[in-house]
Amino acid sequence: MAKKIDPREFRQCMGRFATGVTIVTSEMNGDVRGMTANAFLSVSLEPPLVLVSVGHKAQMYTFLQKSKRYGVSILNEDQMNLSNHFAGGHDPELKVPFVRHDDMPLIEGAVAHIVTDVVDEVLAGDHTLFIGEVKYLNSHALRPLLFYGGNYSELSVDLAPSSYAW
Ligand code: FAD
C-alpha cells in the first residue's frame, strides 16, 4: 500500500519550489480586500489565463466567489512588510499604497500588475483554483521579492533581458 503523505513533509517539499510573492486584490461594492499568495501561475497564452489557488479558510475565498474579478500585484523586494500584512500579520500603522488600473485596486510599486475576470473555479481539495482571463497588465524591470523554504529572499544576480524563448 502507498505510504500516506505527511502534511509537514508535503509543505517542506513544496517549499523547495522558489516563487515570487503576490498580493491578490478584489473589490465589491466599494469593499477592497487583499491576500498574500504565491500559488499563482500562468495557465494559457491564447486566451491569456492565469490562476490563483485560494484556501477555503481564507476570507478571500468567499469574496472571490462573489466578486468574480481579481487583481495580482507581483511584489518587489522592498515590499516584504506588505506581504506580511496581507498574510494576516495585520499592521495597523501600515498605509497600503493602492493604485488603480482597469478599475481594480493594486499595490503601487509592484513589479507587475494583472487584472482578470474569473472564467472558471476548480475545486481542488481544501483549495479552489480561480482561473482568470487577463484584461489588463503592466510590468517593470524591478527586483522581485522571492519566497523559498518558508523564508523571504531576493535575487542575487543582476537583472538581464530574457534569453529563453519558447
Ligand atoms: P484576512 O486574513 O482577513 O486579511 C489578510 C490581511 O490583509 C489582514 O491583515 C487584513 O488587515 C489585510 N487587508 C485585507 N484587506 C485590506 C485592505 N483593503 N486594506 C488594508 N489591509 C487589508 N493562502 C492561499 O490561500 N493561497 C496562497 O497561494 C497563499 N500563499 C501565501 C504565500 C505567502 C508567502 C504567505 C506568507 C502566505 C500565503 N497564503 C496563501 C496565506 C494567506 O496569505 C493567509 O492565510 C491570509 O491571512 C488569508 O487572508 P484572508 O483572505 O483570510 O484575509
Q: Is the pLDDT of residue 166 over 80?
A: no
Nine cell digits for residue 37: 499568495
Report how far ligand 1's centroid is from the alpha carbon of 131 (Å): 19
14-43 confidence digits (pLDDT tens)? 999 999 999 999 999 999 999 999 999 999
pLDDT in tens, 56-96: 999 999 999 999 999 999 999 999 999 999 999 989 999 99
Give the residue, out of 35, 62, 130, 153, with the most ligand 1 atoms within 8 A of its beta carbon, to mutate for a pocket test: 35
Query: 145 alpha carbon to ligand 1 midpoint, in Å?
Result: 16
CB within 8 Å of 35: residues ≥ 6 apart:
23, 24, 54, 58, 59, 60, 86, 87
CA-closest candidate to residue 86, choices 140, 133, 32: 32
Instruction: Tell whether ligand 1 has an atom less than 6 A from the beta carbon of residue 34.
Output: yes
